[in-house]
Chain A
């Protein structure tokens, strides 16, 4: 039996995908093309005059030690955010999956932080950890630990990671929970009857069966850590101290919109474009192989 749909009209399929293509073109290809074009120029902020510099903007970027270090900062930040938010979410999901009474209340509460805008999340954490007036900074001081993320790069990184990961836990939780509930109970029960402990069941049955969800979340979280955490960093550290929390996307903003250096900003966008492309290929070619659908 032939299941494929055959269009008799030649133009209909193109017409049907046209809206999607249009959206992709207007919101992706056009701006990306603009960024590539602009990266070859140094314009003045008002757009009154512009100079062609070829690859000059890239030369300038990669000659800058702080830009090169920003790659490492981004890697550390993304890995920390992804690992901490995903593992915490998985732990919560496993617990929530086992709750019988009042589970919907738990779940609702756990999903709440997702509705908080990144900038607001940043301000919330900043209030708690403000070195002078923050309640947690004060508590830490009482036990003899001096908290000042304005000076200590490690503390600053910990704070932006915590704020970014916290926000993302809800989202991860939601998907993990759905993933857990999709695992057939019979498989787990069979293992339990065979005498497998909870941890054994988790590692040999649940975790492998959850891998499509985990892989999906890995991709989403890395993209989140790369691009959407900008608001958190802007409100908490502005990339400081000493650029220890300047991730690549924050630098694009800082150079373009604070420094009015649109040429460099465009060049950085192009670098990010390439980087994300490479990352996506890596994820799908190498990590997806280990996923059991």
Chain B
């Protein structure tokens, strides 16, 4: 109670618009630090200043996993926040927690505020909606993988810096030339499972898991050991052996050597844009993620990563109204367009995309619209709208391990993917059992 009063007083001091007693406090737990944390705080203080009924109090709870844990632990203790930011791999966990979450469409309906689901980018919102089209959580920060190119490195290898790199075959030719010219790091990647298996599968319109990648039920099984995936991982494994693909780690460790100019090509989230733009002292370009030209229907669309905002159960009606007002504010095209331009995350509404386009931002920053074009070029199919698996964080860990076996040459691509599938299926059965 003391804490609530204290933070209420603090909020009142900060907003200085309304006395604390009149405003309803809305707690928002998130996983952003650094620059992203500052931008988030800016959004929150703008919202608090824009009205005097609600005060949103944003608190950082560590990284994504830690934030989810904090939310779960708080729920068990009956002290959950109103809004919890959960990364995309935690989606199935949250959806399974009926009784712990309040779906966003319900919150918006009850508030009476205007809420038009069709205004959101289908490819983004689809990740967080039920199969019958109802939005469960509000997309917040979503990105998709793209290819970053160090043009100076291409030039140094005697290549045309504007060369076409839209297929992996073309990338292969470029890697040959880079390697021959003595480049120590022709290609590296961030988030290998997300880019080279999850997105790869969607982009080539092949299933990552059965039951519409888990959207249609928890009795899903992994299927990413198909021909397309095996061929891709096999090729990358060969490139790793030849010193053309350099493995830098499970997360985005590859960002540092790319920004330092050591690596020529880098597959990473579109949200890596801000960092590259800030630090790179070389000429760089953003290109669409490459695809295999011999796969029919490719390129389909890429899928998102990032996080969404979940509303927790067990709060007062007044607080839910505040949540709805805040979500409405976050979805406004002005806020979204700024967020998109500052961070490289996708705008969540079509209107924000149009606004950014009209402002001339894409002309000044070429390549920043590639992520949206990649996502929205084709209508998503059952295999390309996203992935929703239980225990997904751990399954990614298994995929990481098995891929590492391929990169260090101790396993063939087929063996590694088969093993990842059977080990991952065990975890899916475990999740199915817990959510029966």
Contact = CB atoms under 8 A, between A and B. Distances in A.
20 contacts: A42-B433, A44-B97, A45-B72, A45-B434, A47-B75, A48-B98, A131-B248, A133-B256, A148-B247, A150-B253, A151-B247, A152-B408, A240-B250, A241-B401, A258-B65, A258-B397, A259-B391, A259-B427, A260-B93, A260-B391
Given A150-B247, A151-B247, A240 B100 contact: no
Contacts of A261: 391, 394, 430, 434
Nearest to B391: A259
Given A44-B97, A241-B401, A151 B391 contact: no
Nearest to A60: B430
B96 interface: yes
Given A46-B76, A240-B401, A243-B401, A258 B394 contact: yes
Contacts of B405: 241-242
A150 B72 contact: no
A242 B401 contact: yes
B404 A241 contact: yes
B3 interface: no
Task: State the 7 A-B residue pairs at the shortest beta-carbon distance, nearest first.
Answer: A259-B394, A46-B100, A151-B408, A241-B404, A242-B401, A46-B97, A47-B76
A132 B257 contact: yes
A60 to B, nearest CB: 7
Nearest to B66: A257
Contacts of A47: 75-76
B112 interface: no
Interface of A: 42-48, 51, 60, 64, 66, 131-133, 148, 150-152, 238, 240-243, 254-255, 257-261, 263-264
Contacts of A254: 394, 397
B433 A48 contact: no
Nearest to B262: A132
Contacts of A263: 434
B426 interface: yes
A257 B426 CA distance: 18
Contact of A64 (B98, B256, B407, B426): B426
Contact of B434 (A43, A238, A241): A43
Contacts of B65: 257-258
Contacts of A260: 72, 93, 391
Contact of B404 (A42, A46, A133, A151): A151
Contacts of A241: 401, 404-405, 408
Contacts of B96: 44
Given A46-B100, A131-B248, A242-B404, 4 more contacts: A46-B75, A46-B76, A151-B407, A260-B93
Contacts of A240: 250, 400-401, 404
Interface of B: 65, 69, 72, 75-76, 93, 96-100, 247-250, 253, 256-257, 262, 391, 393-394, 397, 400-402, 404-405, 407-408, 423, 426-427, 430, 433-436
A53 to B, nearest CB: 8
Contacts of A258: 65, 393-394, 397
A240 B262 CA distance: 25
Contacts of A242: 401-402, 404-405
A88 B128 CA distance: 55
A51 B433 contact: yes
Given A241-B404, A242-B404, A258-B393, A44 B257 contact: no
A142 B329 CA distance: 55
Nearest to B101: A46
A114 B398 CA distance: 34
Contacts of B250: 150, 238, 240
B355 to A, nearest CB: 38
A261 B393 CA distance: 11
Contacts of A51: 433-434, 436
Given A45-B72, A46-B72, A151-B247, A132 B434 contact: no
A150 B436 contact: no
A60 B391 CA distance: 16
A150 B251 CA distance: 11
B100 A48 contact: yes
A48 B75 CA distance: 10
A43 B96 CA distance: 12
Given A44-B435, A258-B394, A132 B401 contact: no
A151 B99 CA distance: 42
A45 B256 contact: no
A51 B436 CA distance: 9
A61 to B, nearest CB: 11
Nearest to B393: A258
A150 B249 contact: yes
